Amino acid sequence: MSRWISQEAERLAPYTPGEQPQDQQYVKLNTNESPFPPSPKVLKAINRAEILKLNLYSDPTCAALTEAIARRYELKAKNVLAGNGSDEVLAFAFRAFCGAGQPVAFADVTYGFYKSQAALFDLDVKIIPLREDFTLHVDDYMDFPGTIVIANPNAPTGIAVPRNDIQRLLEANPDRVVIVDEAYVDFGAESCVPMIYRYDNLLVTQTMSKSRSLAGGRVGYALGSPELIADLNRVKYSFHPYNVNRLSIAAGAAAVADEAYFAACTAAIRQTRAWTVGELENLGFTVLPSQANFVFARHSQLPGETLYRKLKENGVLVRWFDADRIRDYIRITIGSMEQMETLVEELTAILEEL
């Protein structure tokens, strides 16, 4: 850090993203991307005419995108805020609904970025440990007076919380905001979106990075009551009014409108996940019950770090977290069937060496 850095920036806890080698030499199963290209409708949407208009600012309200999202989720555009990935949307939410006298609670084992964002806004954080089996019990949050953030399904465990449990949280205290981060919801968990009209203290965030094959397009969004969305806009217009670029607006609107492609991709991932879990269990892995596009698995004979290293040496990238409680695990993205077959082959070879 330089000698000019502010005290506030010194205290930050920057996030370390998964490795992003740009040369495509790996079977890349480390950052939960989709193995499928974006919808053909996205290819059509990013056309010559759109590119020629890049000299003009994007629509700060992202109307084409928020309207397309609203249509898909049977909401109104005023229930939607679009962002440069859901990371940005989450940052807006942390600023909008947390601060002095409004602490934030999240799990000990969850998306690592929450800690970074809490540090960015210097928030009081209450860490509420998952149970022994990595499940989240909403009872552990009932008495917490501040804002609650729950990744559902959770990362990196993949374990989902039933919608009814979130509903109990919402009802227990309407004076606090519950943020449900549904980045991975499209692979089998129950979305809280149908409860948005009923609970004005519910904010759901989603992303097009996983189920809609747009990680590189950076399109995320928040869904909630118009009051919550207006607060998020207040932050957005203090940070970056033109936060979503023209091509991402076009790509996101096209992607969210292609229901058939979305259904086919998510079904394929679920099927491949079931196959992968079976194979991993045959190899002696313990696999947490995942509703996401990844699985979290450990092997009694090899520590997570060794698995990660040996797989990497053999051309397969998975994610290993050097963190308490999960050091034994590796997180494996569910890619294409072919990629998972390679993974299983490599794991088989690694275990045979033992």
**Alpha helices per DSSP H over 143-258:** 163-172, 226-239, 246-257
CB-neighbour burial class of residue 22 (10 A; exposed 0-12, middle 13-18, buried 19+): exposed
- Asked whether position 4 contacts a second copy by CB under 8 A, the answer is yes
Q: Which is nearer to a second copy, 5 or 349 (CB)?
A: 5
Q: Which of 110, 117, 206, 272 binds a second copy (CB under 8 A)?
A: 117
* Best CA proximity match to 149, nearest among 129, 179, 119, 120: 179
Q: Which is nearer to a second copy, 121 or 275 (CB)?
A: 121
CA atoms within 13 A on the CB side of 260: 2
> What's the distance, Cα to Cα, between the start and end of the chain in Å?
44
- CB 16 → a second copy: shortest distance, Å? 7
Q: Which is nearer to a second copy, 4 or 300 (CB)?
A: 4
Chain positions 119 to 158 lying near a second copy, rule: CB under 8 A, are 119-121, 147
Q: Which is nearer to a second copy, 218 or 331 (CB)?
A: 218
Q: Which of 37, 129, 162, 315 binds a second copy (CB under 8 A)?
A: 37
- Asked whether position 25 contacts a second copy by CB under 8 A, the answer is no
Q: How far apart are CA 33 and CA 26, in angstroms?
A: 13
Chain positions 203 to 232 lying near a second copy, rule: CB under 8 A, are 209, 213-218, 225, 227-228, 230-231
Q: Which is nearer to a second copy, 100 or 354 (CB)?
A: 100
**Residue type present at position 221:** Y
DSSP category for residue 26 = S
The site string for a second copy over 292-331 (x = CB under 8 A, - otherwise) reads ----------------------------------------
DSSP reduced 3-state for 7? helix
The site string for a second copy over 151-190 (x = CB under 8 A, - otherwise) reads ------------------------xxx-------------
Report the 10 Å Cβ neighbour count for 33.
19
